Amino acid sequence: MKLKTLAVILVVFGLLGFQAFGGMMNKDTKVLADKFLKSVPENMMYLMPVKSLINAVKQGENNVVILDIRPPVHYNNGHIKGALHIPMPMIVEKMEMIPKDKKIAVVCAMDTNSAFVVSVLRMFGYNAWVVDGGVPGWVKMGMPLEK
């Protein structure tokens, strides 16, 4: 758990550092980044246990959207049924496809990639969460993937 926490923190600071280094940091970006970083400790690093996602799916909850950010080849080899697929590099470009009125459960093969996406989505006002363990965690819990 400590490693995942460190990974999320490094991802956020990496994102902010990239923006500042690239000259893209402005007052609005700083306000959004500050708001996000101050909310992290009280929100358990925005980690959602895979079991919570499984329970939501089994109960048919329609207030949770699974966002699979893996590359197309991995998604096509097997994904969680009903997952919205937007590869990580296309998140900003296709952000309008992601509903703002639902909880967004971000899955990938690596939690650090999910953390990148969650930090960006959070800065744009989305209720996004890193699913702890991602797609491999889903499979490890005995849940099926579809092609």
Active site residues: 108
Rounded to 5, what percent of the chain is helix, strand, coil?
55, 15, 30
CA nearest neighbour of 106 among 129, 90, 86? 129
Please give the Cα distance from 27 to 41 (Å, whole number): 23
For 91-125, the three-class secondary structure string (H helix, E strand, C coil) is CCCCHHHCCCCCEEEEECCCHHHHHHHHHHHHHCC
Place of tokens 């099926």: 144
